[in-house]
Every structure is written in C-alpha cells, then in structure tokens.
Amino acid sequence: MSISMHQVAVPTLAKSLRALSGVLAKGAADAEARRIDPQVFLTARLAPDMFTLTRQVQIATDMIKGGIGRLSGVDAPKYEDTEASVAELQARIEKTLAFIESVPADAIDGTEEKPITITVAKQDMHFTGQVYLLHWVLPNVFFHITTAYDILRHNGVAVGKRDYLGGV
C-alpha cells in the first residue's frame, strides 16, 4: 500500500502544530507560575545568532502554510509577523491549522513530480513536489519547532519528549 502526499503532509504538520501549541501553553503557564514576564521567553534564543522563540514559531507556520500552498496551488494566507504574545502566536497556529486542514486532499495528492521553485538568499532552488515536502518542508518545520521547544526547555519550562511529539 502506498502513502499519499496529503497523508504525509497534512496530518504530520497538523500534529506538529498542535504539539507546538501545547509547548507554548506550558511555557505561558510556567511563566505565570514563576512570575516571569512572558516576554522573557518570547524574546529568548539559544545563541546570539539564532532567532527568538517568537520568530521560530513564525517561521514554522510560514513553512507549513507555504509548503501546503505551493504543493496544492492554493494561495496560502499571509501573516504580518507582528505577534507579541503567546495568545497571538497561538492564534497564528490556529489560523495555520485551519488553512492546511481546509485544503482538499486531491489538491495535494499527485504532486510528487510537480515542479516547485523557491528563492532562498536570492538563489532559486528547484524541487519536485515529493522532494520539496520530504527534504525541505518537513526538516525545516521540525527544526524550527524543535528550536522553539529547546528555548523553553533551556529556560526551565518542564516540557519533555511527549510534549514535543504531541502524543502518539
């Protein structure tokens, strides 16, 4: 039995978004319990040359909505990247979930050989749909969600592997 592009993409990305939402919720609860300004977590980064927690969430959601949009041919929503609170990041995650879950499976299935071109650092990158999903979208999403998780964990939030995985 084969697995479809939609089966690989949407359920996997939706689960990752829900797990990210849960990790952010734990971060917010931890900040409140320890009487830490939530901005401390939102502006935290793992290293001086890395993006903040807020930016990690923005990039992950952009990668997800852009990936599904390019594969399906459906225009992805555009976000202004102005989120300044956990609640606003949670709303962004919810909008992204709503978008990807609204795209019909038949718009994504059969896109394995679809030509996809993206521009990164002024360089065009060319993919087939399957390579784009498996070798670009998924690894980038996992990187940014993992980094968001790591920022919170590094700052003492009691999150673990089950939180990251979002339940199995």
Size of the chain, expressed as the number of residues it contains: 168
The domains of the chain, with CATH numbers, are 5-103+112-165 (1.20.120.450)
DSSP 130-149: HHHIIIIIHHHHHHHHHHHH
Whole-number pLDDT of residue 1: 65
Between the alpha carbon of residue 85 and those of residues 41, 55, 82, 139, 146, the distances in Å are: 10, 12, 9, 26, 19
Whole-number pLDDT of residue 2: 87
If residue 115 lies in a helix (H) or strand (E), which one and from where to where? strand 115-120
Sign of dihedral through CA atoms 8, 83, 164, 149? positive
Whole-number pLDDT of residue 168: 63
**Low-confidence stretches of the chain (pLDDT beneath 50):** none
What gap in Å lies between CA 60 and CA 18, rounded to an integer?
Answer: 12
Whole-number pLDDT of residue 53: 98
- Entry pTM: 0.96
